A and B are shown apart, each in its own frame.
Chain A
Amino acid sequence: MIDIRNVSLSHGGTRVLDDISLTVPKGGVTALVGPNGAGKSSLLSLIARLQPLQDGQITVDGLPVGKTPSRQLAKTLAVLRQDPAIGSRLRVGELVALGRFPHHRGRPGPEDRRIVAETLDEFDLATLADKFVETLSGGQRQRVLVAMTFCQGTDYVLLDEPLNNLDMYHARQLMRYVRRVADEKTRTIVIIVHEINYAAAYADHIVAMKSGRLEAHGPTAEVLGPAMLKQVFGYEMSVLKGQSPLVAHY
């Protein structure tokens, strides 16, 4: 369970997050949706202690963020930021293997190697393992980074727009993988998506944000409707109900 209590955040006088209180239930996929500048990424980076909390409290699986040692939290929570620039001259295999760092601190055992190999296979990366990351295309790089994040093997995974640069095939593969991991290993995955229909098809819960405020949250079927979409995105769109999953035309 991720518990967010009265969290606010300001950058240079502008309020980025305004008194957010939210509970993300344990297990399942939670989609964070909202227009640009809604504060989704800021909320995610606060949960992942990438920037210091200004106001309020966040606990992940009972561990208070900001008070728990970074090293301990890294075994519970993995995060992928939007477009992280990986500057280091590393090969795909090496980079994905770094995802296991919190567990072995630099001395990988057989278990770590097995997980890395499995993850590389899972994300269609086995053939790229010896390539340098900087030589890959945007979509391939994105897959490498997502693979590294899942390699960390944590119960909680935060993904900031992981579908960036992915083609339809790999976007679908990734969402199916997220779904499967959530179902089989009862992991909690919070994912920022812009494509509402991906949220509709794969998420158990929706959290909608706008201008630093929480607009709506709850189970997908209850929350996702024309009224909420209009309120958050600012225009009418029709939602085909009765279908599984829901489909929004926009």
Chain B
Amino acid sequence: MAKRASIVLIGLCALVLGSGVAFMTLGLRGNLAFVLELRGIRLCALIVVGVAIGVSTVLFQTVTRNRILTPSIMGLDALFVLGQTTLVFVLGGLGFSSLDPRLTFAGEIGLLMVLALALFLPMLRAQMDMGMLLLVGVVLGVLFRSLTSLIARLIDPNDFAVAQQASFASFNDLEPNLLALSAVLTMLGAIVAWRMRHELDVISLGADAAIGLGIAWRSAVTGILILVAALVAVSTALVGPVAFLGLIAVALGERMIDTRRHGVLLPTVALVAVAILVCGQILFQHMLGSASALGVVVEFVGGIVFLALLLAGVRR
């Protein structure tokens, strides 16, 4: 089994490296330095987003003990967008744009952490079953999206353009200012998750078994939720909501290694997510002529995977 996992991991590393090189070099023309710099920034962003989504989805599924929930299905990224739109509403489009993006970003992350804790901690304490959690998540997601569009109607069109710019899924116009900060945050998050990998194996057994094995349940779950919120904020701030990427990455990764042990699962899922993003972006730029957004196709394929998982009865 360990052998299979290492083969899968090596294969995935090779795939990510190969697609990274292809992304940088395919169809190069014009001012080399400029194009390479642009592509390099974009590649970094794809990697950061892939890792953030992969790791946050694994953590969230472990805490909720559920294989079809993801932070975005539970409306966490919609919550982030709501926060952002509210900020534009309160500060005005000019005020929002003139703020240091790193400052607003930090504020948004903090807000998301607090709200995520306030929402999900009581639900986890009550040990809701899967159906209930899913229902609550869908309702919350709709609520946040509706509130966002309500506020979007209230603000004037110029401000709305600012808000939409900030919250629409796009891998093409990135905020380079945020990239360095996001990369650092994601790396820290990934390191924390990796150090917790053994605890996570125990936590995935459920509250009772985990407490019995000496996990300080409440603080562990609080910590994990904060981590998830930070990672979701990072990926949403960089490219906007990508609802199903985490779900596909975890489902595929778990199939490949056939285990739920976090020591193997975390790196596998992160690599799968990065590979999907980079390969998808290559496909778009060179074959589909950037006709649509990567997010759209990821969501389309992801939706089908989600339905397939539901139908196959993979509930936990």
Contacts and interface: CB of A to CB of B under 8 A. Distances in A.
B59 to A, nearest CB: 14
Contacts of A69: 216
A97 to B, nearest CB: 10
Given A101-B198, A106-B198, A86 B205 contact: yes
Contacts of B214: 70-75, 101-102
A90 B201 CA distance: 9
A81 to B, nearest CB: 5
Given A86-B205, A87-B316, A78 B212 contact: yes
B202 A101 contact: yes
A56 B230 CA distance: 40
B259 A74 contact: no
A86 to B, nearest CB: 6
B65 A87 contact: yes
Contacts of A94: 261
A54 interface: no
Contacts of B254: 89
A84 interface: yes
Interface in A74-122: 74-75, 78-81, 84-91, 94-95, 98-99, 101-102, 105-107
Interface residues of A, number: 34
**Size range of the chain B interface in the assembly:** 20 to 34
A6 B158 CA distance: 67
B260 interface: yes
A94 B254 CA distance: 16
A131 B216 CA distance: 30
Given A89-B259, A89-B260, A152 B213 contact: yes
Nearest to A72: B214
Interface in B242-274: 254, 259-261
A88 B213 contact: no
Contacts of A50: 207-208, 211-212
Contacts of B212: 48, 50, 74, 78-81, 149, 152
A126 B209 CA distance: 22
A54 B207 CA distance: 19
Contacts of B199: 106
Most chain A CB neighbours (cut-off 10 Å) among B204, B217, B254: B204
Contacts of A107: 198
Interface in A152-177: 152
Interface of A: 45, 48-50, 69-75, 78-81, 84-91, 94-95, 98-99, 101-102, 105-107, 149, 152
Interface of B: 65-66, 197-199, 201-202, 204-209, 211-217, 254, 259-261, 316
Question: Which A-B residue pairs are the 8 nearest by beta carbons?
Answer: A106-B198, A74-B214, A87-B316, A71-B214, A102-B214, A88-B204, A89-B260, A79-B212
20 contacts: A70-B214, A71-B214, A71-B215, A72-B214, A78-B212, A80-B212, A81-B209, A87-B316, A88-B65, A88-B201, A88-B260, A89-B259, A90-B259, A90-B261, A95-B205, A98-B201, A98-B202, A102-B214, A105-B198, A152-B213
